[in-house]
Amino acid sequence: MLKPLLIYFSIIGSIFGLLNLFIHSTLSLSVLPPSKIIIPLTVTQREDYSDIEKTRTNYTPAMIDLDKEALIKAQQEAYLKAQQEALKKMPYRR
């Protein structure tokens, strides 16, 4: 008795999962309007204490920089620094 019920609920769950996937994929592509951005960029997040970063955060420079050149450069420098430190920790092989 229990096995047919498990199979039945498994099939129903699969149908609802596929239906949910279909609805979300079609709605997300067809119903949502295209995004718009306000230029000049003036809307920012208020400076405040971040519980995650455990420090005061100010995202205004990153939010008003349209091309994000400074942010991208900082990310690249941090990545290169991490790679160099990882290479220093690797044992030397011949």
**Which pTM value belongs to this model?**
0.39
Does residue 45 or residue 57 have the better pLDDT?
57
Share of the chain above pLDDT 70, in %: 63
User: What is the token pair recorded at 37?
Assistant: 């951005």
- How many domains does the chain fold into? 2
Q: What would the two tokens of residue 25 be?
A: 């994929």
Provide the domain limits for residue 65: 43-94
- DSSP-derived secondary structure letter, 67: S
Looking at residue 32, the DSSP 8-state letter turns out to be: S
Better pLDDT: 47 or 38: 47
The pLDDT of residue 77 is above 80: yes
Residues 63-85: what's their mean pLDDT? 88
17/61 same-domain check: no
Q: Decide which of 93 and 46 is more confident.
A: 46
Q: Are residues 48 and 32 in the same domain?
A: no
